[in-house]
Amino acid sequence: MDAYSLALAAVLSGYVASLLVILESLLRTGWRLQAWTGVAGVGVSAAASLLALISAEGGTVAGFDWLPSIGVKFALRVDLVSGIMGLLVAVISFLIAVYSVEYIGEWGAARYWVFYTFFVASMLLLVYADDLVTFFIGWEGTGLSSWALIGFYYDEREDAWVGDPGRRRLGVPMWFTPTHSALRAIAFTRLGDIAMLIGMGVAYAALGAVSLTILAEKGPLLAALVKGAGIIPLWLILFYMGALAKSAQFPFHEWLVTAMTGPTSVSALIHAATMVKAGVYYALRITPVIAPFLAAHALGAEAYSGLAWLSLITAFMTATMALVARELKLILAYSTASQLSYMLAAVFAAASHNDVGEGVLGGLAHLLSHAVFKASLFLVAGALIHELHSRYIDHMGGLRRFMPLSFISFMLASLSLAAIPPFSGWWSKDEAIEAISAMGHLASGVALVTALLTAAYTGRMLFLVFFNGYRGHVAHPHEPSWIMVAPYLVLGVASLAMGLTWPWIKTFLIHAVGVEAVKASPPIVLAGTIASVAGMGGTIAYYARKTGLPEASVLRAPTGVVAGFLYDRWLINSLIYRLIVYPGRNAAIALRRIDSAVDEAIHVFLPRIGVSMSAIVRRLQTGDVRDYLSYFMVGVILTALISALVVKLTG
């Protein structure tokens, strides 16, 4: 089979599995069959994507004319970049699918597996897509699954909430139920998607078709046309806005934070390892195609630079939030937004300095390592929350004694996240910061400070969960069964193994991205390593000195001004609600009132006026001929008056 057929098989097996689960659900088979159908479908995808990567060398674009009249093709592009991404997505999906069998269990199984497999297929579709319309279908498919799975616990069980019930800032509630979060997710990302559609529409209007191939071929024409229209910065921002929203960049990051209401397996797969990477992936694919043409016209540098700064700010901001968060998944969510920002910042920063290859390398490297270690972290978190019946790290502590395998997995992944050598995160974060450093010392500085913060919150999380005394309510927490442990153990060990083998991985990535020479800057490596070790070591030392942490010190939300500000997410959510959501709701209420007033005017008052005027008219129709003759005379007089008046006025 050729690469195209293999990629197509990887996509279709997910969709087929999704349909099969629907069928099984209609036939009322047991939940286990549905779950294993899902696992099998994703397993086939994983195998096919592996084979596709093996035959991806050189790159192929194939497909068929789908809507020839408007230049839309169904086209897949299998090259090393999409091959690597496809394999990553499919393998992690497979591991998490195995974990989910027991984690999800019976309640809602059919719904879960339908959307899980649908998600994997859609994600692979967007990964392999060459035509942007095909891409967009996959893109929206992932958004749909994300919405359905964030709101998976539609019974609004409190275990699944995000935030502290009862807490309000600026009058805005700071706790979120699953259905609310699901709507937030789809609304936030849809805003970006609409902008992206407009951006694609501009490209379509200019070129008559939009695909990676066409963009690569006709890029100079597009650049000239967009330049001629004088809309370069606007177009670029619109074109990337979908990616910014999907990959949780400020101010869209809010949706990702509350998306943690979904099952933890979903958080691991969709909201850490894969879907939120779709925006990064989009940037990885599109930027090398369009940035050189723009650069040839000396265009777009400011826009790219602005985008890079937006990402750096997001990285820093979300890292500070993670420092004070009390919910384990929330810490991981902040961390995800922060790490995504590294990837995007790398791409945008490099593009702004006409060195997009290095940015793509940094972005792809960090994407790869982050997907592995973050999936592991989330899966362990899911197991812990499940076991301890609490999402707060306040109720954990000392768990290394009860759950050693989970501890090992979590620690390996944490060290990778904190970028401690020689874990994969250390290598990949360095690649990203190297790319960011193209923007100058200030940018590198922000990236390094964020690295320090990352190591700090990782250390805090690791310590408060697995070290010190146990503070939980469950008497004897147990390690979950092997089917759950195996996936995260594999991923945790993988983050170490990838670190150990990184020089080879990097060579392969350099080959995949197609960059020439890669410079490594010793000062940056050194500074990054110091930041990571200092951040993690310092935090652990700080907490370790407080032996036997008194429960009261951690069991409440922070009260300090700064800590409170960070804990309430810089008040960004409150401001969004105050400035956009509530005014929007009030406008809707006002419009509804206006609408009902108009309705009343048309259907009540107007007829009432008509009836009363009609009654007056009909009262004149007395049936008495003397009245009629009187009217007649009035008419004669009226006519005489009008005539006289006209004669007088016109002379």
Partner 1 sequence: MAGGVLGLSSLEASSLLVLAAYTVTGLIGPLFGTRTSRILLYASSILALLGILYASSLPSVLHGYATGFNGAVVVDTFTVYLLLVALVIFALTALAGRRTVDQWEASDAFYAVVGLMALGLIVLGFSRVLYLVYIAWILSAVSSYVLVALYRDSVSAEAALKYAVTGTAATIILLLAVILYYGVTASLTIGAAVSDASPLLVTPVVALALIAIGFKMGMVPFHGWAIDVYGNTRPLIVALVSAIAKILAALFIVKLIVSFAVATPTIVLWVAGVLAAITMLYGNLGALTTIRDSPQKLLAYSSVAQAGYIAAGFASLATLPGIDNKAAIAGIALHTAGYALSKFAGFLVLDSQCRYPNCGWDSMRGMAWRSPAAATALVLSVASLAGMPPTLGFWGKLYIVKAVSGASTGLALLLVVNFAIAAFYYGYLIYQLFARPRQQEGVRDDRSDVAFVAALLTLILGFMPQQAYQLTVYGYS
Which amino acid is located at 319 in the chain? A
| 622-651 binders of partner 1 (CB under 8 A) | 623, 625, 627-629, 631-632, 634-636, 638-640, 642-647, 650
The end-to-end CA distance of the chain, in Å, is 99
CB nearer partner 1, residue 298 or residue 646: 646
CB nearer partner 1, residue 500 or residue 644: 644
Q: What's 571's DSSP letter?
A: G
CB nearer partner 1, residue 547 or residue 650: 650
The helix/strand/coil state of 2 is: coil
Q: Where are the beta strands (DSSP E) in 112-258?
A: 168-169, 172-173
**CA-CA-CA-CA torsion sign (477, 483, 487, 489):** positive
CB nearer partner 1, residue 474 or residue 604: 604
CB nearer partner 1, residue 404 or residue 635: 635
Q: What are phi and psi of 177, to 5 degrees?
A: -90, 165
CB nearer partner 1, residue 586 or residue 630: 630
Report in angstroms how near the CB of residue 595 gets to partner 1 at its nearest: 21
Measured CA angle at 476 (ends 471, 478), to 5 deg: 110
Report in angstroms how near the CB of residue 74 gets to partner 1 at its nearest: 46
Q: How far apart, in whole angstroms, are the C-alpha atoms of residue 437 and residue 452?
A: 16
| 446-485 binders of partner 1 (CB under 8 A) | none
CB nearer partner 1, residue 482 or residue 631: 631
Please count the CA atoms within 13 angstroms of the CA of 529 that sit on its side-chain side. Answer: 11
Q: Percentage helix, strand, coil, to 5, in the chain?
A: 80, 5, 20
Residue 78 β-bridge partners: 60
Report in angstroms how near the CB of residue 636 gets to partner 1 at its nearest: 6
CB nearer partner 1, residue 483 or residue 641: 641
Report in angstroms how near the CB of residue 596 gets to partner 1 at its nearest: 22
CB nearer partner 1, residue 469 or residue 607: 607
Report in angstroms how near the CB of residue 599 gets to partner 1 at its nearest: 17
Contact assessment for residue 487 and residue 94, using Cβ atoms and an 8 Å cutoff? no
Report in angstroms how near the CB of residue 618 gets to partner 1 at its nearest: 5
Contact assessment for residue 441 and residue 478, using Cβ atoms and an 8 Å cutoff? no
Q: Is 576 exposed, middle or buried, given 0-12, 13-18 or 19+ CB atoms closer than 10 A?
A: middle
Q: How far apart, in whole angstroms, are the C-alpha atoms of residue 121 and residue 113?
A: 12
CB nearer partner 1, residue 208 or residue 610: 610
CB nearer partner 1, residue 221 or residue 634: 634
Distance of alpha carbon 386 from the chain centroid: 24
Residue 162 β-bridge partners: 176
Report in angstroms how near the CB of residue 616 gets to partner 1 at its nearest: 8
The helix/strand/coil state of 392 is: strand
Report in angstroms how near the CB of residue 634 gets to partner 1 at its nearest: 5
Q: How far apart, in whole angstroms, are the C-alpha atoms of residue 650 and residue 642?
A: 12
Structural tokens at position 473: 């309510």
Residue 64 β-bridge partners: 74
Q: How far apart, in whole angstroms, are the C-alpha atoms of residue 338 and residue 248?
A: 9
Report in angstroms how near the CB of residue 286 gets to partner 1 at its nearest: 53
Q: Is 175 exposed, middle or buried, given 0-12, 13-18 or 19+ CB atoms closer than 10 A?
A: middle
| 603-622 binders of partner 1 (CB under 8 A) | 610-611, 613-618, 621
- Binding pattern for the stretch 563-602 against partner 1, x by CB under 8 A and - elsewhere: ----------------------------------------
Among all chains, which residue has been given the structure tokens 């048309």?
602
Please count the residues of this chain forming the interface with partner 1, following the rule CB under 8 A. 29
CB nearer partner 1, residue 1 or residue 601: 601
Q: What are phi and psi of 300, to 5 degrees?
A: 85, -10
Among all chains, which residue has been given the structure tokens 């150990």?
500
- Binding pattern for the stretch 8-47 against partner 1, x by CB under 8 A and - elsewhere: ----------------------------------------
The helix/strand/coil state of 152 is: coil
Structural tokens at position 350: 């490099």
Report in angstroms how near the CB of residue 32 gets to partner 1 at its nearest: 56
Query: Rule CB under 8 A: which residues touch partner 1?
Result: 610-611, 613-618, 621, 623, 625, 627-629, 631-632, 634-636, 638-640, 642-647, 650
